[in-house]
Structure 1
Amino acid sequence: MSETDEKSLFLQETKGIKPLKQDTYVPSQKLNKFKLKQKAELKDNREKQDTLFYFSDQYEPLLNEESAVKYLRENEDSYLLKQLRRGDFSPEIFLDLHGLTREQAKLELASLIQVCENDNIFCASIMTGYGTFTLKKQIPRWLVQHPKVRALHQAPREWGGDAAILVLVDV
């Protein structure tokens, strides 16, 4: 079919159609900086709340607390734990929880996992310190509940030793 045949077929098919009249202009809406900042804060808060949903204080996982802190998600390669223990993974982000309350630490953990997910960070180090051992015992209990946590292990000496935990996050 030639171009003139196509044009005549088009004109024949569209005969008698009235063109639409577009006489209204809708200006684009510009959000001011304050509203944009509010929207970003709401999104961040929502993401933190979603992540916090996983951290229950009543859940008691089966962790051997006499030996080094370690956890491996079901269906993961057990070699991951060995690599964490040896320090084969270097943390890309560090979280220091010294001096924080349990609730503050829970919020910081939620933020850490969210940042790891958003920025494609695979390995993180969480420094719990020694202190009263409250956070050192509670942090692994919270982390094993989160579906993005693949594995965790007490950090090797160069990444904090007994006072830190290395975490592998599913990104």
Structure 2
Amino acid sequence: MTRKKGKTVKAKAKEFSARPFSAIKGLQVEQAAPPAPAPLVPAKGVEKSELDDDALFLREMAGLKRVRPAGTGEMERRKAPAPDGPVSPQVPVEERRLFLDTVKSLKLDVRFSDELPPGEKGGRRVAVNRLRQLQRGLIRIDLELDLHGLTREEALQSLAAFIGGAYRRGQQAVLVITGKGNNSPAEPVLLTAVAGWLREQGKGMVAEFAPAPRQLGGEGAYVVFLKAVKKEA
């Protein structure tokens, strides 16, 4: 028996298809959230003036953190109400008492006067009140003594006799002319000597003295105001 030669049929090779997710066909895949937009950075060569206002604002605010305003915390301190008037410091009672006791123990010479203190220009006494009364005519000068041309000793002798006599007669004010002493080599001799005598030897009779007003001699003369004579009991 002869075997029939049959046609040899070769199996057709299957085409390769790479579809690994075909098994999960029909499932719905969740889409990922879109990425956050990158901060706006101006391109190189772009000037700040060419950016719009929004881009400039975003660029300037990048990196800043929000700060909680003051006073929004859970526990906030309460402020004490401001006083209506100025607050004076409280001084303890014991300290005030000690201060008052100390002041009382001091021997203070408190006198109110509108006269200038002595000591100006060689210790001359200044009689502001009486000079004003003299200019208003309330005090009159009835006597004057001119010491021009006298030596220091002669001038002081004449001054002592003159002041003593005026005091005993109850004169209020007298004028003593010494000269300005411009020709003296050092200081005005008579001017200084007369002021010293009035301040020391004549203090029992002299209330005060001062340089005379310009019309009465100015710096070259003294107006001497005398004390009232004490009446014997």
- TM value normalised by structure 2: 0.40
Indicate the RMSD between aligned Cα atoms, in angstroms: 2.2
Larger fraction in helix: 1
| Aligned equivalent of 1:71, options 125, 130, 136 | 125
Whole-angstrom distance in 1 between the partners of 2:140 and 2:216: 8
| Aligned equivalent of 1:154, options 199, 211, 228 | 211
Q: Which has the higher contact order (CA 8 A, sep 6+)?
A: 1
Indicate the residue corresponding to 2:194 in structure 1: 139
Whole-angstrom distance in 1 between the partners of 2:220 and 2:192: 11
- Native 8 Å contact 2:164 2:205 kept in 1: no
Whole-angstrom distance in 1 between the partners of 2:160 and 2:227: 14
Indicate the residue corresponding to 2:10 in structure 1: none
Indicate the residue corresponding to 1:130 in structure 2: 180
Aligned-partner residue type, residue 170 of structure 2: N
Q: Which runs of 5+ in 1 are unaligned?
A: 1-61, 73-79
Q: Which structure has the larger Rg? A: 2
The alpha-carbon deviation at position 85 of structure 1 amounts to: 6.2
Runs of 4 or more above 4 Å deviation: none
| Aligned equivalent of 1:81, options 118, 128, 145 | 128
- Native 8 Å contact 1:95 1:112 kept in 2: yes
1:167 maps onto 2:214 in alignment:
no
- C-alpha change, 1:129 and 1:121, in structure 2 (3 Å) is same
Q: Which runs of 5+ in 2 are unaligned?
A: 1-117, 229-233
Indicate the residue corresponding to 2:156 in structure 1: 106
Indicate the residue corresponding to 1:53 in structure 2: none
Indicate the residue corresponding to 1:29 in structure 2: none
- Native 8 Å contact 1:70 1:153 kept in 2: yes
- Native 8 Å contact 1:84 1:152 kept in 2: no
Aligned-partner residue type, residue 151 of structure 1: E
- C-alpha change, 1:151 and 1:140, in structure 2 (3 Å) is same
Whole-angstrom distance in 2 between the partners of 1:137 and 1:154: 12
Q: Work out the percentage of aligned pairs sharing the same amino acid.
A: 29
- Native 8 Å contact 1:129 1:164 kept in 2: yes
- Native 8 Å contact 1:85 1:153 kept in 2: no
Whole-angstrom distance in 2 between the partners of 1:85 and 1:141: 24
- TM value normalised by structure 1: 0.53
